[in-house]
């Protein structure tokens, strides 16, 4: 666990490069730093002892005098692996996760990918065959990069050790940059082997790579079977089965040698994770909740809730066994530590509106002695799948199929839940049933330079990757959800961020809603389980009865919103931000990449004072991303 790095030169001496890589690893938080060197091969690990079994472990290590193992790993299905690998009961209590991984590789070779569940990125050097095996878990929760040249190959958890090598340059990868600019969503790039640096490649999530003298082979894998279905006899059985799987995922993610904490908002996903953890843990669970800065005036629609305190407090009181902490980080805003965040993440990024507080919570958790910080970040596509749009599509489908009895039952429940009447709802559903659906497309101007887009063929490549550039029709939602778990580019950015933060703070993010076991279950149950009883996100709401307080569990009136206070936070430095953006446009450092005419128009439209609603303006998001890209190139150019 921690940062790993290694270098293999087929013929040349590696002493100088190995020393520079080792020096870089020493800058990361770790308990010990060990290395292995033999002939023209070098592997090192800045080891974090995250679990009881890992205390005192030396990484890297040789296995059977043939394999050298360096693993950044916490496994979640240890009991299954003990059985598969025939591990003696006496050894199970003390066996480390990296040794289990070595045993799995010995038995299955690269096919271990289909048997191992957890957060991991690992490297295995086969001395006999001179092959390097690199693998990243199914959700990409830990990062791994590599370089391959004529003289050899190298790998690392982060890019920094690779950038120490004389063969690796700081040349920009324009294909990556074009996708970063062209994609309107938080997705940074869809070509997952690419990074911002042309000489450094990435091991994509849910992929293993084999490097030899002859070249590189990359093989994607998946732990999700889209054809697998769960058929049970009653709603109660679906709810019980859901809770059994979810509880197991939470318990597995809590395994740590220190305190366990969790992100807690007022919503269903984090509330479910925290409540299960509090129930299962003999020790208190520490929770961290971000609330708006003091003096913030809520400008959002009544539906949104920037301050979720009332729901957070309800969950805490109902669950018990929780030590809560609310945080405001009054001196922080999206740009306050931007250069440090760019160094930390080693890439331009789009989620600046919330990364500053994610970093702040992680630092506070480390100060409080946490080793693991649970979250429910990916629950929207797994445990809490659903929306009113999905419900309306379901009702309109019942109407078109003339299943009147079922439709009456569902609309009775819907009307009761939302305090409305059938005279209002029936015409609304009929209109949706027999009118051609439209894409819900939020306007987001294209800010890529037209010649740059044409030269890189960025839009053609994004179509090849099936990147959703616009909204989705209601009938496309279920298909999109399934494809989401087959397209590894959705999984990357959060893994890169959580890995970087863990190397800074020593705290690992673990997300039970992202576990392949709960994902598989949620994809396998009938779609109607998510819309039954007049509830959106129905399965989770029904399954958590008694676990969550009803005002949280059945809340369909309010929705939390992140980053609503960022203009309030920037009110004292707004003039500086505007001036920096204006200088960015005048300097033209990235003018060959972006549509500077549009950028100048957006600059003119910037308010003199930070208007609260400007936080949600597409123009502000474009200017922010443009400034991030500008700052990153400025930090790294000339090195």
- The stretch 362-381 carries a mean pLDDT of 95
Give the domain 2-159+200-220 fold.
3.60.20
Q: Calculate mean pLDDT across residues 391-417.
A: 90
Q: Does domain 235-384+483-560 have CATH number 3.30.70.270?
A: no
pTM of the model: 0.94
**229's tokens:** 């279905």
Tens digit of each residue's pLDDT (9 = 90 or more) over 56-74: 999 999 999 999 999 999 9
- What is the band of 84 on the pLDDT scale with cuts at 50, 70, 90? very high
Q: List pLDDT tens digits, range 142-196.
A: 999 999 998 899 999 999 999 999 889 999 999 999 999 999 999 999 999 999 9
Known binding residues for L-glutamine: 97
Domain boundaries, the chain: 2-159+200-220, 235-384+483-560, 566-636
Which whole number is the average pLDDT over 243-265?
97
Instruction: Give yes or no for a contact between 137 and 118, defined as CB atoms under 8 angstroms apart.
Output: yes
Do residues 58 and 33 make contact, with C-beta atoms less than 8 angstroms apart?
Answer: no
- Which of 7-16, 385-394, 429-438, 525-534 tops mean pLDDT? 525-534
Q: Residue 515: is its pLDDT beyond 60?
A: yes
Determine contact, residues 371/379, Cβ cutoff 8 Å.
Answer: no
Buried b (16+ CB within 10 A) or exposed e, 405-423: eebeebbeebbeebeeeee
Q: Which residues are annotated as a binding site?
A: 97
> What does the DSSP 8-state code read for residue 383?
T
Check whether 279 has a pLDDT greater than 90: yes
**Has residue 442 got a pLDDT over 60?**
no
What is the pLDDT confidence band of residue 220, given thresholds at 50, 70 and 90?
very high
The pLDDT, as a whole number, for residue 101 is 96
Q: ∠561-564-566 over CA atoms, to 5°?
A: 140
Task: Enumerate residues 6+ apart whose C-beta is below 8 A from 209.
Answer: 133, 134, 135, 146, 203, 216, 217, 218, 219
pLDDT 10s digits, 586-625 = 998 999 999 999 999 999 999 999 999 999 899 999 999 9
Percent of the chain with pLDDT over 70: 98
Centre a 10 Å sphere on the Cβ of residue 155 and count the other Cβ atoms it contains: 27
Q: Which two tokens stand for residue 403?
A: 């299943």
Structure tokens at 92: 């199970």
**What tokens appear for 359 in the block?**
């970093």
Instruction: Examine residue 60 and say whether the peptide bond preceding it is cis (omega within 30 degrees of 0).
Output: yes
């Amino acid at each position: 666990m921690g940062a790993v790095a290694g270098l293999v030169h087929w013929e040349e001496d590696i002493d100088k490069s190995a020393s520079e890589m080792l020096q870089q690893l020493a800058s990361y938080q770790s308990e010990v730093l060990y290395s292995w060197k033999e002939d023209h091969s070098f592997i090192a690990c800045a080891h974090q002892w995250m679990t009881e079994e890992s205390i005192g472990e030396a990484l890297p290590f040789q296995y059977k005098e043939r394999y050298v193992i360096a693993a950044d790993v916490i496994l979640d299905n240890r009991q299954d692996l003990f059985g598969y690998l025939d591990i003696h009961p006496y050894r199970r209590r003390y066996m480390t996760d990296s040794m289990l991984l070595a045993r799995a590789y010995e038995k299955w070779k690269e096919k271990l990918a289909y048997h191992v569940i957890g957060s991991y990125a690992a490297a295995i050097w086969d001395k006999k065959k001179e092959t390097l095996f690199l693998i990243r878990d199914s959700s990409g929760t830990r990062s791994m990069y590599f370089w391959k040249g004529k003289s050899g190959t190298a790998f690392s958890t982060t890019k920094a050790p690779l950038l120490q090598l004389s063969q690796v340059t700081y040349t920009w990868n324009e294909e990556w940059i074009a996708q970063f600019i062209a994609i309107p969503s938080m997705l940074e790039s869809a070509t997952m082997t690419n990074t911002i640096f042309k000489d450094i490649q990435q091991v994509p999530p849910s992929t293993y790579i084999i490097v030899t003298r002859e070249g590189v082979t990359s093989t994607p894998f998946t732990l999700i079977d889209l054809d697998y279905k769960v058929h049970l006899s009653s709603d109660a059985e679906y709810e019980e089965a859901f809770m059994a799987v979810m509880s197991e995922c939470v318990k597995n993610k809590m395994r740590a040698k220190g305190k366990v904490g969790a992100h807690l908002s007022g919503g269903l996903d984090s509330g479910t994770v925290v409540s299960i953890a509090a129930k299962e843990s003999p020790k208190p669970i520490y929770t961290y909740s971000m609330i708006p800065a003091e003096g913030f005036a809520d400008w959002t629609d009544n539906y949104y809730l920037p301050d979720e305190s009332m729901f957070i407090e309800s969950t805490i009181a109902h669950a018990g066994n929780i030590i809560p902490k609310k945080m405001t980080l009054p001196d922080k805003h999206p740009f306050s530590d931007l250069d440090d965040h760019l160094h930390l993440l080693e890439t331009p990024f789009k989620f600046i509106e919330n990364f500053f507080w994610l970093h702040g919570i992680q630092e506070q958790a480390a100060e409080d002695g946490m080793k693991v910080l649970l979250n429910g970040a990916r629950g929207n596509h797994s445990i809490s799948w659903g929306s009113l749009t999905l419900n309306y599509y379901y009702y309109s489908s019942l109407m078109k199929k003339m299943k009147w009895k079922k439709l009456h039952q569902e609309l009775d429940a819907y009307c009761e839940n939302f305090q409305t009447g059938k005279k209002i709802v029936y015409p609304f559903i009929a209109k949706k049933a027999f009118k051609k659906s439209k894409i819900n497309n939020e306007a987001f101007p294209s800010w890529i330079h037209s010649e740059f887009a044409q030269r890189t063929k960025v839009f053609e490549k994004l179509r090849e990757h099936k990147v959703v550039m616009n909204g989705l029709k209601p009938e496309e939602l279920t298909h999109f959800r399934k494809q989401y778990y087959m397209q590894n580019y959705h999984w990357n950015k959060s893994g890169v961020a959580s890995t970087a933060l863990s190397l800074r703070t020593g705290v690992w993010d673990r997300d039970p809603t992202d576990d392949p076991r709960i994902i598989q279950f949620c994809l396998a149950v009938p779609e109607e389980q998510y819309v039954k009883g007049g509830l959106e996100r129905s399965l989770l709401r029904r399954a958590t009865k008694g676990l969550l307080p009803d005002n949280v569990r059945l809340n369909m009136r309010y929705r939390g919103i992140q980053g609503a206070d960022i203009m309030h936070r920037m009110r004292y430095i707004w003039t500086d931000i505007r001036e920096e953006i204006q200088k960015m446009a005048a300097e033209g450092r990235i003018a060959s990449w972006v549509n500077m005419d549009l950028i100048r128009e957006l600059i003119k439209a910037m308010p003199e004072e930070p208007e609260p609603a400007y936080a949600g303006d597409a123009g502000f998001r474009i200017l922010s991303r443009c400034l991030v890209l500008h700052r990153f190139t400025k930090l790294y150019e000339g090195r």
